[in-house]
Structure 1
Amino acid sequence: MGKVNVCLKRSYITVTSLIAIMSALLLALTLFSHGKFHDDEEVDNMLPGIRAMYIFSIGTLLFASIGLYGACKEKKWALIVFAVAMILSSLYLIINEIGGLVVLPKMAEGVKMHYREMLPLTNASESFLKEFEELQSELQCCGMEQGYKDWGNNISISCACHEESTNPCVSSVALCITILCRLNRKDNIPTVVYSPEAKAGNYTILSDPAENT
């Protein structure tokens, strides 16, 4: 068996150790999330994702340990198992990412269609409106697609902009409408005609100042 370069061996051990540490942290995060949402009503919807994280973190940690064992003991079978496992997992992640990019537009359109059925927002359930108003206040926005128009004739108070708002949403619309109204308004200003007598300083007194007292 040939002698392995020391720098190459140390580099491999360092990278594989980092992979093992990240896998251990991911496993700890998965355990924490599972314990936190264990009593949640919607935990059944989260279980598939939690199980996938368990499989991924434990599998990566296991193969990283095998890779470290192969490097330290110079075992070919362990290095081959690690290399094949990492290649297959990378291919799986790439294929999964491509599939997600293909499905994402369809999912976004489905979500849009779902929320469009709630328009105007005043027809939505109270629980949804409460969460949506909190989201509007946090993100400093109003409505889903057409802004305040999505609320119909009953615009939520969460659409109002405050002085400390960093992203005014309704105030800019109101100011724009006001400016347009002022531009479209026609002021009836009487035409002023200067006569030769006025230019010469010949003014006619309309009334005696004493009569107005």
Structure 2
Amino acid sequence: MKIVCSFCKNTFLFNFARINFEKLNFLAHIYLSGNNDLLKIGNFIADTVRGKQYLHYPEMMQKGILLHRKIDTFTDEHPIFRRSKKRLITEFGHYSGVIVDIFYDYFLAKNWQTYSKMPLNEYVEKFYALLQEHKHLLNERANYLIYYMIKENWLESYQTVQGIEKIFYQMDRRTDFRSKMQFAPQFLQNNETDFEQDFFQFFSDISKEINVLLIDK
């Protein structure tokens, strides 16, 4: 059975499929970048930059791109992240990792006050302004992503189940509904305590790891 949702005619639906991103866990990457603007931007655009193309960017953006890759490697190899994936594997197969990424961003947004003194809406607005200020440094793919991310306010949408329902529906649609990702929010609600405990443990570990890397920069 396919869900018929009220947002299916939203412009987001038609534009989302044109952005070929496997992951949409932007909020954690941005937060873990610390306070350096160019480092933060580099981390954010990293999935639009292939191989050694990162060398074409300013030094701090290069470091941000490389930081993004280290975060991805740390995440994929972490036993708690793998435990979260294991809960999903029967229902969602190889899409489980993508789903956990978004679950963890949901928990970060939901518990934002635990990690930042700045309200989420203010943090997001400042980041959007930062991207627009530096869009001349970014590639076409990144600027396309940014346009629709700001237009649809993706980052704030992570803080509610309704917001991630929208994201998962679009991702499922891109797979012709084979992935069943539209049902991931219901799975989350049925197992929210377990996933939230995973998130808190994992995020504590990755924050410590990344803080060491940022000190070394």
Q: Which has the higher contact order (CA 8 A, sep 6+)?
A: 2
Larger proportion of helix: 2
TM over 0.5: no
TM-score bucket of the superposed structures, by smaller chain:
under 0.3
TM-score, structure 2 normalization: 0.21
TM-score, structure 1 normalization: 0.22
Computing the radius of gyration over CA atoms, which structure comes out larger, 1 or 2? 1
